[in-house]
Structure 1
Amino acid sequence: MPKKVDHQERRTLIADALMRVAADQGLEAVSLRHVAAAAGVSAGMVQHYFRTKDEMMAFALSVVRERSQVRVTDAVARLGENPPPRLLLRTLLAALLPLDEHTRDDGRVALAFLAYTAVRPAAATGLREGTRQLTEFVAGVLPAGRGDAAAAGLLALMEGLGVYLLGGQYTAEQALGALDAHLDLLFGSSPA
């Protein structure tokens, strides 16, 4: 009797290997051969699940997004029902920042993917919708009258802080301090 194969599990194994390669060696090192070696499978198996590098990259980014969503959902759930808007946004954005080694690996992959999509706009299709939804959510939580531009600015700040964290220019404390200072501008000073 043939062995039953869990295709999603294999795709995730390959995506995890891709993320390790991208996080450790950079996106330029991502190839079918390198990913197969990191996953401990054949290049043919990688090609069976992902015909192109774009398909591999898109799946890896979806895994990063899922992990980020779990972090955000868990962090926000710990706030209880109806948290104050400023605390809700701070918690959400802090959960998306690469503040520790585990989240830095995901952050490196996400940053590599953003750079990848800068020269391959078709690969960014799914990103556009996620960005639109996040911007709308943040705009809805900001004080009245702030709107989409303030939400986009807050998200751009978060992305920039993420880059500085990944590059080692900022510590977690510095990044969170900058985030708090910007939230103070939007909401008024935070309680002591």
Structure 2
Amino acid sequence: MPKIVDQQARRALIADTAVRIIGTRGIEAASVRTIAAEAGVSAGAVQRCFATKEELLRFVLGHLNTAFTARVLARMARTSDPADDAVGLRVIIDEMLPLDDERRLTSAATAALLAYSATEPHAGQIMRSAYEGAYAFLARAFDRDTAIGLYAVVSGLQGPLLVGAITPDQAQTVVTAALTAAGFRG
């Protein structure tokens, strides 16, 4: 009897493996062969899930966005008022900053995929959509231009945090100053 494979679970496993490789060794290390070996599947299994490496990388981008949203929603559900936009704003900002191993990994992978997205139109569209979603949430508390500026400040802290050019305390000081300048009172 043929083995039944859960393709969604396999795609998620492959994407998680790709994130780990990209986040620790860079996008150039994420070959189909390396991803397959580290995911414990054959290269053919990866190719059955993703026709091209570009398709795989686009899926990984979407997978990262979905995982980010899930982390934010899970943290919000544990707060005293999950509908509080001020709390949501702080949770989103905190999740964006690479302050622990998981966020460092996803932030590094996202940075590599952002560079890739600058030259691959379909991946660029996925990134633009993710940015629009973030701007829309931040625009619940600020006007659109302020939301875009605040997002730029927070995302601009990711690189310096990743390479140790600033400390988490310095990043938090910058975020607090940006929120104060934007008129945030939460």
TM-score (normalised: structure 1):
0.88
- Paired with 1:155 and 1:114, the residues of 2 have a C-alpha distance of 15
* Cα deviation code 1:123-149 (max 9, x no counterpart): 22122222123212212212xxxx211
8 Å CA contact 1:90–1:179 kept in 2: the answer is: no
SS in 2 for 1:61: helix
C-alpha change, 1:133 and 1:17, in structure 2 (3 Å) is closer
Specify the code of the residue in structure 2 equivalent to 1:152: I
Shift of 1:2: 2.2
Identity %, equivalent residues? 37
1:121-140 to 2 correspondences below 5 Å = 121-140=121-140
C-alpha change, 1:71 and 1:56, in structure 2 (3 Å) is same
- Decide which moves more: 41-50 or 124-133: 124-133
Equivalent residues, number: 185
Quote the residue 1:66 is aligned against. 66
SS in 2 for 1:119: coil
Specify the code of the residue in structure 1 equivalent to 2:57: M
1:1-192 to 2 correspondences below 5 Å = 1-77=1-77, 78-83=79-84, 85-142=85-142, 147-187=143-183
Runs of 4+ in structure 1 over 6 Å off: none
- Paired with 1:176 and 1:135, the residues of 2 have a C-alpha distance of 20
Specify the code of the residue in structure 1 equivalent to 2:90: R
Instruction: Tell me the C-alpha RMSD between the 2 structures.
Output: 1.8
SS in 1 for 2:152: helix
- Paired with 2:139 and 2:116, the residues of 1 have a C-alpha distance of 28
8 Å CA contact 2:82–2:88 kept in 1: the answer is: no
Structure 2 residue ranges without an equivalent (≥5):
none
8 Å CA contact 1:165–1:172 kept in 2: the answer is: yes
- Paired with 1:14 and 1:21, the residues of 2 have a C-alpha distance of 10
* Cα deviation code 1:8-65 (max 9, x no counterpart): 1111111122112111211111111111121122211111111111111111122211
